[in-house]
Homo-oligomer: A and B are copies of this chain.
Amino acid sequence: MATRRPRHPGAIPRARGAHRDDSVAAVRASIAGYDAAADVANVFRALADPTRVRILHALSIAELCNGDLASVLGMSESAVSHQMRELRLMKIVSAEKRGRMVYFRLTDAHVRRIFADTLRHVREGRAPRPHGGQEA
Q: Which residues of A contact B (CB under 8 A)?
A: 1-6, 8-9, 20, 23-24, 26-28, 30-31, 33-45, 47-54, 57-58, 61-65, 67-68, 70-74, 76-77, 88-91, 94-95, 99-101, 107, 110-111, 113-115, 117-124, 126-131, 133-136
Contact = CB atoms under 8 A, between A and B. Distances in A.
A84 to B, nearest CB: 12
7 contacts: A4-B71, A30-B61, A34-B136, A35-B131, A107-B126, A110-B124, A114-B114
A62 B100 CA distance: 52
B31 A41 contact: no
Interface of A is mostly: helix
